[in-house]
């Protein structure tokens, strides 16, 4: 299981910069709201994602879930933190973009709520850090279905 990863200011800035770069790839012709995310694995890799919309609306995917699904599909299972940047189309980040409820639940599947850190940012110098436990208190997770969390989500 992933423990708590101490995030240095430099690591946080790297993650935010990666999220800003990922946001440039956002495919959001319907909402014109662009989101980028950078997911830090427990062993220090950074996996990015952007939001990807669809003409049928429903199949659209958030940036955070794109990053998680990319990482999980490559065999990664332990995560330390995610940086998220989102704002209406354009270079300027005008707001802190907190993850939607569905993305919080996806994080809950693979992360330990007190340890997983969520960074929302307007720039590499202007950010807020909180834990998944703060953003999804008393959540429903794999351990509700199984005796041991080790048996869930492909954990060894």
Q: Which residues bind ligand THU (CB under 6 A)?
A: 28, 31, 33, 35, 51, 53, 60, 62-64, 86, 99-100, 103
Q: Is 87 in contact with 105 (CB distance < 8 Å)? A: no
Out of 6, 21, 64, 134, the active site residue is 64
- Is the Cβ of residue 3 or residue 29 nearer to ligand THU in the bound state? 29
Least distance from ligand THU to the Cβ atom of residue 16, Å: 15
Tokens describing residue 138: 């008393």
Least distance from ligand THU to the Cβ atom of residue 147, Å: 32
**Residue 101 zone, left/alpha/beta (φ > 0; ψ -120 to 50; rest):** alpha
Rounded Cα distance between 75 and 132, Å, is 22
Active site residue 64: yes
Tokens describing residue 28: 């959001």
Least distance from ligand THU to the Cβ atom of residue 144, Å: 24
Active site residues: 64
């Amino acid at each position: 299981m992933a423990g708590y990863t101490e995030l240095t200011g430099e690591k946080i800035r790297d993650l935010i910069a990666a999220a800003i770069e990922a946001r440039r790839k956002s495919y959001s012709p319907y909402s014109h709201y662009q989101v980028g995310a950078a997911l830090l694995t427990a062993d220090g890799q950074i996996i990015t994602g952007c939001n990807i919309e669809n003409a049928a609306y429903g199949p659209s995917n958030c940036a955070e879930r794109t990053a998680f699904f990319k990482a999980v599909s490559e065999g990664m299972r332990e995560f330390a933190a995610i940086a998220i940047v989102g704002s209406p189309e354009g270079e300027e980040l005008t707001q802190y973009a907190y993850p939607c409820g569905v993305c919080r639940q996806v994080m809950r599947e693979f992360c330990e709520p007190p340890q997983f850190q969520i960074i929302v940012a307007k720039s590499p110098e202007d950010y807020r850090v909180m834990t998944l436990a703060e953003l999804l208190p008393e959540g429903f997770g794999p351990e509700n279905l199984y005796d041991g969390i080790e048996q869930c989500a492909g954990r060894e």
